[in-house]
Amino acid sequence: MQVGTLKPSLTKTLERRYRAIELPEGEDRETFLAEHGGDVTAVVTSGRFGVQADLMDRLPKLGAVVNFGVGFDTTDVEAAQARNIVVSNTPDVLTDCVADTAVALLLDVMRGFSAADRFVRAGRWPSEGNPPLTRQASNRRVGILGLGRIGGAIAHRLVGFNCTISYHNRREVAASPYTYYADLAEMAREVDVLVIAAAGGAGTSGLVTRDVLAALGPKGYLVNIARGSVVDEDALVELLLAGQLAGAGLDVFAHEPKVPQALLELDNVVLLPHVGSGTVETRAAMEELTLANLDNFLHSGTVLNPVY
Ligand code: DGY
């Protein structure tokens, strides 16, 4: 069964190869579950939709939740574990693409490229002169929240920009060449840019508090390619409006696809519609890995990329 709207080619393959059906929305859902819920052995979904305990309880034969995407914060993994349901994701194949997105956001928000593009398109150049001068991205101090696969790939790229890298994780990463901060606010005080690369979910919800954002200071930038839930979004908006932060590059938001109106009106933010992994190559690789996880489960009862 498919929960939520997925990539059309993935849906087509699921329908053709597995005769998968999409869980309907609204009133039809109840009828569908009453008629078919007892037959469903695997669900394919994405980080946008996920599967919660109440749906698991309607699918007594469910053995796997196969996630298209690396983030699985919308699935109740504890509930799955308690019911012996395996959960898989698609790690590694999107690491480079998402790390590229983080660096692009960092460059864009500091150099104001998107704002300059709007300036040209609005016919303001040269009649209004040039857009304001921007900030250099090279040689900066960058703090990474979440030095995992994606955080590590971002750090690796930024070393090429001669940036000094520090990071905050729950625990220090053994043999990491970067400076570890056990205290996130302390790291924020010491860096020019904070890049969020931590997984979403209860463990990181609201981790980037108003205090952490304020510690970045009026010359500090925030980049988020992870999950909007990691940041106090109201505080972010307030500090940006008050000039207490220099800018933000965001691919994710707290209540997607809702983007706070105030952000839409600011020139010192770059806003992307959660496209961190959105290249032809990466999405094809994610699709392949999703299907490989599903196949593996259907043939052997296990998945290739279990999340617990
Ligand atoms: C992921 O893979 O988690 C991306 O953020 C898409 O949800």
One of 128, 172, 256, 281 is an active-site residue; which one?
Answer: 256
Query: How far apart are the CA of 209 and the centre of ligand 1, in A?
Result: 23
**Is the complex ipTM more than 0.85?**
yes
Told to judge if 172 belongs to the known catalytic residues of this protein, a careful annotator would answer: no
Q: Give the residue whose CA is nearest to atom 7 of ligand 1.
A: 47
pTM for this predicted structure: 0.96
Q: How far is CA 285 from CA 69, 71, 90, 173, 275, in A?
A: 10, 15, 9, 28, 15
For the chain, list the domains and their CATH numbers.
8-91+279-300 (3.40.50.720), 95-271 (3.40.50.720)
Nearest protein Cα to ligand 1, atom 6: 69
Q: For residue 226, give the ligand 1 atom closest to its CA.
A: 5
Is 227 a known active-site residue?
Answer: yes
Q: What is the pLDDT of residues 169-194, one digit of tens each?
A: 999 999 999 999 999 999 999 999 99
Residue of 5, 94, 224 best suited for mutating to test ligand 1, as the one with most atoms within 8 Å of CB: 94
Confidence of residue 29 (pLDDT cuts 50, 70, 90): very high
What share of the chain in percent tops pLDDT 70?
100
Distance CA 225, CA 227 (A): 7
Residue 122 is predicted with a pLDDT of 98
Q: Give whole-number Cα distances, 215 to 146, 184, 185, 186, in Å.
A: 18, 10, 6, 8
Six-digit token string for 157: 């790229």
The one catalytic residue among 140, 168, 274, 283 = 274
Residue-wise pLDDT for 220-277, tens only, equals 999 999 999 999 999 999 999 999 999 999 999 999 999 999 999 999 999 999 999 9
Distance 284 CA to ligand 1 centre (A): 14
DSSP state of 180: E
Helix (H, G, I), strand (E, B) or coil at 66: strand
Q: How far is the CA of 70 from the centre of ligand 1 (A)?
A: 5
Report DSSP letters for 198-236, one per residue.
---STTTTT-B-HHHHHHH-TT-EEEE-S-GGGB-HHHH
